Structure 1
Amino acid sequence: MHYRDITNVALREGLLVSHGKTPDATMSAQIYVENDRRGKRGETLRFLRDGALIRLADSAASEVKPQDANSAALHDELLACLRVMDPKHFEVLVGRLLAAMGFVQVQNTPYANDAGVDVRAELTTELIAPLRIAMQVKRHAANIRRPDVQNLRGSLHVHERGVFITSGSYSKGAREEAMRDSAAPITLLIGKDLVGLLIEHRVGVTQVNGVLQVSADSLAPTT
């Protein structure tokens, strides 16, 4: 089941009480934290995750991921749309994605003179301290290079985590810089990572007769 469906059932049956604004994000975070703890202790996981879909580890593998969500054609079409989007609209789309993922305080910085940060957001849960991210977004065909990663790191506020998203790729130097010892790590995401998140959280896609397809209207800029 999708973690949002699990959350809705738990709330309806009185199995979960949440005072937060994003109980589905809390549910997803709780399952992630439990799996992480059990994995570090060498214990058997109680839940298995496949993107946003979750099932009990000992249940029959009856949960089938929707075929359209795995469709190579859907992924390719959405990625092609991202690569020709206006760069400013691309940044706005990422902000919308973060909001759909349960992030709050989502703020797109001014398009010009952004000091290396395009979007800032915060994720709050009932288990852990707020996760604050600063994100650089590049609708870019060429490789992102080391100085780009350095600029993002230099713009981080206290307790912020840096995330870089590009529709292109990263040079070897950029990847090395992102994980440089004694420096704040920077998470690097490429186009296929972004496409997976967009499909998972139903941003830029729509469901018609049970089949997911790219939504031109959803990808259009919003005012």
Structure 2
Amino acid sequence: MSVPTYDELFNPLLKALHELGGSASVEEMDDRVAEILGLTDEEISEIHRGNTTKLSYRLAWSRNYLKRFGLLENSARGVWVLTPKGQSTTQVDKALVNKTVKHLDLELKAMGPGTDKPEELVEEATWRSKVLDEIKKMSPAAFERLCQRVLRESGFINVEVKGKSGDGGIDGRGIVKVGGLLGFRVIFQCKRYAGSVSSQEIREFKGTMVGRAEKGLFITTGTFTRDAKQEAVRDGSPPIDLIDGEEFAERLKELDLGVSVKTEELVGVDGAWFESF
């Protein structure tokens, strides 16, 4: 099957959130919906634009519509939650949801140009795509320096690049200090491409860790297949932390590296304060 449209995802998304206990991160929701629908790795990894997959793009719209329909809400930390109305709802009529949200759109437009447009609520992916486009323009040497900088800014020490792969990626190692007391040896691999990292690549990476590190970190500017994610946490093998392109862009934003966030200053006047004189 192909990836369903955003409104065909309403009910699978609701089912996923109910199964996950009423709250979930975007990644948890995307993975559970893919599992519910029985999508293949190829379908999950199909690109919409830039580094965003069709599935994640359409689910973003689906979440947006269900939020405005009153079934979902989200926190600043990226956790989505079923509202009381959502907790008692397991199925929706997509035609009714579309009609309700489109009516809200008309009301917003009637309020004038200063009103936020619904599209802006899901365009967060745009800046991430721009960040990844810039990274893909970098030379291998520049990408190497960027990865070292990100790791050092994230708390790694003794960061060393030990080798370079033929696809523009780098391999290296470092030490992460926990609480200033414990140190863990970490082997990392950073791959700069738009495709999906497979489970075979994760297995091969694990093979390089044996006897050399306690933890592994695999960074890609692309995505990971579902099997790759499962392989990363498979029992009986070294644990691997995975960071995909969107998470890498988010990390750059958090570290204030190449990504700036502008905040609007809202000035309010306290009339009661002046009246107190």
Q: Shorter-chain-normalised TM-score: which range? A: 0.5 to 0.7
**Contact 1:97 1:198 (C-alpha < 8 Å) held by counterparts:** yes
Paired residues, number = 142
Which residue type is aligned with residue 198 of structure 2?
A: R
Q: Helix, strand or coil for the counterpart of 1:110? A: strand
Equivalent in 182, 196, 202 of residue 149 of structure 1: 202
Q: Distance in 2 between matches of 1:102 and 1:184?
A: 21
1:86 maps to 139
Q: Does 1:132 align with 2:200?
A: no
Which residue type is aligned with residue 199 of structure 1?
A: K
Unaligned runs of 5+ in 1: 1-48, 52-70, 212-223
Q: Distance in 1 between matches of 2:215 and 2:170?
A: 11
Larger Rg: 2
Which residue type is aligned with residue 198 of structure 1?
A: L
CA RMSD of aligned residues (A): 3.1
**Contact 1:117 1:134 (C-alpha < 8 Å) held by counterparts:** no
Report the TM-score when normalising by structure 2.
Answer: 0.44
Percent of residue pairs bearing the same amino acid type:
29
**Contact 2:144 2:170 (C-alpha < 8 Å) held by counterparts:** no
Which residue type is aligned with residue 168 of structure 1?
A: G
Which residue type is aligned with residue 189 of structure 2?
A: Q
Q: Which structure shows the higher helix fraction?
A: 2
Q: Helix, strand or coil for the counterpart of 2:229? A: helix
Equivalent in 179, 195, 198 of residue 233 of structure 2: 179
State the shift of 1:104 in Å: 0.9
The 1:183/1:194 distance shift into structure 2, 3 A limit, reads same
**Contact 1:96 1:203 (C-alpha < 8 Å) held by counterparts:** no
Q: Distance in 1 between matches of 2:234 and 2:151?
A: 26
- Please list, as runs of the form range in 1=range in 2, the aligned pairs for 1:199-218 lying within 5 A after superposition: 199-205=253-259
- Please list, as runs of the form range in 1=range in 2, the aligned pairs for 1:66-105 lying within 5 A after superposition: 72=124, 73-105=126-158
2:42 maps to none
1:198 maps to 252
Q: Distance in 2 between matches of 1:112 and 1:143?
A: 16
1:31 maps to none
2:222 maps to 168
Which residue type is aligned with residue 131 of structure 1?
A: F
State the shift of 1:109 in Å: 1.8
Which residue type is aligned with residue 135 of structure 1?
A: F
The 1:168/1:112 distance shift into structure 2, 3 A limit, reads closer
Report the TM-score when normalising by structure 1.
Answer: 0.54
Q: Does 1:107 align with 2:160?
A: yes
**Contact 1:117 1:136 (C-alpha < 8 Å) held by counterparts:** yes
Unaligned runs of 5+ in 2: 1-75, 79-122, 264-277
Q: Distance in 2 between matches of 1:112 and 1:140?
A: 12
The 1:187/1:141 distance shift into structure 2, 3 A limit, reads same
Q: Distance in 2 between matches of 1:204 and 1:120?
A: 24
The 1:148/1:74 distance shift into structure 2, 3 A limit, reads same
**Contact 2:214 2:238 (C-alpha < 8 Å) held by counterparts:** no
The structure with higher relative contact order (CA 8 Å, sep 6+) is: 1
Q: Helix, strand or coil for the counterpart of 1:184? A: coil
Which residue type is aligned with residue 89 of structure 1?
A: A
Q: Distance in 2 between matches of 1:194 and 1:148?
A: 19
